[in-house]
Chain A
Amino acid sequence: MIEIRDIKKNFGTQQVLKGISATFDNGKCNLIIGKSGSGKTVTLKCMVGLFEPDEGNIFYDGRNITEMNFHARKDIRREIGMLFQGTALFDSLTVEENVQFPLDMFTNQTEAEKKERVNFCLGRVNLPNTNKKYPGELSGGMKKRVGIARAIVMNPKYLFCDEPNSGLDPKTAIVIDHLIKEITEEYNITTVVNTHDMNSVMGIGDKVVFLHEGLKYWEGNKDEIMQITDGELFDFIFASDFLKDLRRNAKY
């Protein structure tokens, strides 16, 4: 479980996060949702330590990373996998080298062991036979798969996904969402997913945190979210007037 307590973050005079607290459960897909610019990415980057929060604490299964020194943090990072919004695959490395990189850098496995692990991960994300390709030669959905394979290659306890279906067609987006959910459950990972896609919320939203203007506005799960009938979250879910009318006239 990851817990964030009263996280605040400013950029210059702009208050982006104004004190956010939430918990993210083990073995579940925990979603952070909100409009573009609501601070989802900043929250995620504070959690993984790419940004330093101005205030607040972050606990990884009770371990407070905001109080950790450089080396202890590096150790926690070995337990973290992350899928970036633009996938952030290393352009100069092949698919296989991308996935293998953390093994090369941080383990003493033999070449054969590493190859086996890489092939297992690429197989797990349904990407056989692309080992020798470069990221530039892959489609958006394939890149996301490689990104996921790279994120899980070290057997992480925590997985972070920033807009995993941005730039994908709706069908591929759903496939990627479910891949994330399956992996989360299979390996009992604490997964945190940023998204503004209601399809993802309904598909994989075990737990949903709604951010609005730098604050946590609502928290619940995918079933509870459909009971909402007004306010900012309602506006967010039913973005068009057409959908709002449908919802208001629905008989439940």
Chain B
Amino acid sequence: MVKFFEQLGGYLILMRQAFAKPEKARMYWNETFRQAKDIGVGSLPIIAIVSTFIGGVSAVQFAYQFRSISLVPMWWIGSIVRKGMILELAPTVSALLLAGKVGSNIASELGTMRISEQIDAYEIMGVNTPAYLIGPKIAASVVVVPMLVVIAVVLGILGGWGAGLLGNFFSTTEYFRGVQDGFDGYDVFIMLVKAVLFGFTLSSISCYKGFTVQGGAVEIGKSSTQAVVLSSIVMMIVNFFVAFLLL
């Protein structure tokens, strides 16, 4: 328990330092851009594939459930897939995938830099290391994660459509009538709130875990696993509270 509060304190202090004023804005901007590209481009394939299939599976499952209740028209599936993707599936699934990919990446990169004294080398030059090494990663993540979630929603909806056509559950017009029916901007707002919070949680926890590594290669491995586990758990708790408070 003491250790928990120690870590929480360390985390909060590091986050405060991470948002110090940059020495040279252009260097920070370049670094943020580079990180955004890394996170975005690196994660796009897996998010695209997984969200397409999740949309597909959702459509198949709802079609299966609705078949026994003949009163429900099949075009509702479009509406249900859309709502499910936006409110829960796209943000949550993306968050968990990104924890595995980006979280472990950030933690092991910073951990390696710590162990190999690269962070000390920046420090000696007079660079504000938390600000330069952590700030851009968090900023990039907060911007890129919502973009990835939006892409996940679009591909999920298309996945549902593809699965529906394949299984002959509905026609294209029926499905997209469903997708448009009862569309609520508030859902998108909730989704973006979640995505921004996930982006922050994921990157900041992973940065903390990597930045504070002590020891050697074994500890880098451990810390990147911890980054994945801890950020997944915290994101799911955040997810619950967003739903609880805003829905």
Contact = CB atoms under 8 A, between A and B. Distances in A.
B125 A105 contact: yes
A50 B120 contact: yes
Given A104-B27, A105-B27, A106-B23, A88 B125 contact: no
A88 B112 CA distance: 10
Interface in B108-123: 112, 116-118, 120-121, 123
Contacts of A86: 116-117
A88 B116 contact: yes
Contacts of A106: 23-24, 125-126
A78 interface: yes
Nearest to B38: A92
B124 A50 contact: yes
B121 A77 contact: no
Interface residues of A, number: 24
B50 interface: no
Contacts of A105: 23-24, 27, 125, 127
A120 interface: no
Interface string B3-37: 00000000000000000000110010000000000
A82 interface: yes
Interface in A77-106: 77-78, 80-82, 84-86, 88-91, 101-102, 104-106
Interface residues of B, number: 14
Contacts of B125: 77-78, 101-102, 105-106, 154
Contacts of B117: 84-86, 88
Tell me the dominant secondary structure on chain A's binding face.
Answer: mixed
A80 B118 CA distance: 16
Contacts of A150: 121
A63 interface: no
Contact of B121 (A45, A74, A84, A104): A84
Interface in B64-121: 112, 116-118, 120-121
A46 interface: no
A90 B118 contact: yes
A154 to B, nearest CB: 8
Q: Which of B24, B116, B118, B126: most chain A Cβ within 10 A?
A: B126
A48 interface: yes
B13 to A, nearest CB: 14
B21 to A, nearest CB: 12
A205 B24 CA distance: 39
A74 B213 CA distance: 24
A80 B124 contact: yes
Contacts of B127: 105
A85 B118 CA distance: 11
9 contacts: A74-B126, A84-B121, A85-B117, A89-B121, A90-B118, A90-B121, A91-B116, A106-B23, A150-B121
Please give me the 7 A-B residue pairs with the lowest Cβ-Cβ distance, nearest first. Answer: A77-B126, A88-B117, A88-B121, A84-B117, A74-B126, A82-B124, A88-B118
Given A75-B126, A82-B121, A88-B118, 5 more contacts: A50-B123, A77-B123, A88-B116, A105-B24, A106-B125
